[in-house]
Structure 1
Amino acid sequence: MDPAEPVVLFDGACNLCNSSVQFILLNDRSRKLHFTSLQSEVAQKLLQQHWEGANLPDSIILIDQGRVYAQSDAALHIAAHLKWPYALLGMFRIVPRPIRDAVYDWIARNRYRWFGKQDQCMLPRPEWKSRFLN
């Protein structure tokens, strides 16, 4: 399975992640981003095919044109798909990756405590269903 359009894999139980996906859907200027939760079978297949790391990620991943972006790289590449002025967030690529990833990891480690957790993945609005891979 090699998706033709960029795919965002996210933690479907995380309130921060679900809110981020909704924000992305509202601000995706190209309307080409697709989504699936990390808990889905689709995500597991995509990760088996594309993920080369020893540990599977537990937060946001972007697969775009066969390349996999994780942590702050994923967030910044996703930002490039967003409307003005949010696309400007991509400028943070000038910050060295170890610093960006340290901040990202700190937020990711605390996301359940700060934003909460759901028992099940969010149900997308009817107009967004075609953007979710099942």
Structure 2
Amino acid sequence: MRWIVFFDGDCAFCSSSTRLLARLDWHDRVRLSPLQGELAKSKGLAMHEDPADDTMVVFRESDGQAFYHSSGWLELMRVLGFPFNLALVLKVVPRPWLDALYRWIARNRYRWFGKADHCSLPEEAVVRRLL
């Protein structure tokens, strides 16, 4: 089974997070695509490219299910497997609280980490996963 992580290609934090994700995806289950790209539009996810909205959408190809906000992050931790799936213990925290934390980080990501004003050459592990 394969998952696609749609990320904000204009966000420095999101871009560096995708590089980290590519290194941590030991089972080669995840592919990457910017929310501003054609694939996101074809999957009906273009509305999430607005910086005021999501920063990441995890899309499961087998059934077309999309995971947003903290659910997307938790699904990604599950997909990565041990030890990352230990984060699933956070499911005991009410989802509105996790989503509020996720949205707070999303709202402040440009202020804290900046915007990607240039395209850095991605690592080979990232290039291999880009769709």
1:88 aligns with 2:86: yes
Give 2:38's aligned residue: 41
In the aligned structure 1, how far is the partner of 2:6 from the partner of 2:130? Answer: 10
Of residues 82, 105, 114, the one that matches 2:112 is 114
Matched, 1:8 2:2: no
- Find the residue that maps to 1:79 and give its secondary structure: helix
SS in 1 for 2:5: strand
State how far apart, in whole Å, the 2-side matches of 1:43 and 1:122 are.
Answer: 21
Runs of at least 4 residues of structure 1 off by over 3 A? Answer: 55-58, 120-123
Equivalent residue for 2:69, pick from 52, 68, 71: 71
Residue 25 of structure 1, aligned match among 22, 31, 34: 22
Matched length: 125
Aligned-pair Cα RMSD in Å:
2.0
Gaps of 5+ in 1: none
User: Who is 1:60 aligned against?
Assistant: 56
Q: Which runs of 5+ in 2 are unaligned?
A: none
Residues 13 and 117 in structure 1, CA contact (< 8 A), matched pair in contact too: yes
Q: Deviations over 1:33-76 (max 9, x none)?
A: 0010011111111125xx8xxx5344100011311100000011
Cα distance in 2 for residues equivalent to 1:88 and 1:19:
22
CA distance in 1, matches of 2:121, 2:85: 26
Normalising by structure 1, report the TM-score: 0.82
CA shift for structure 1 position 23: 1.4
TM-score by length of 2: 0.84
Identity of aligned residues (%): 36
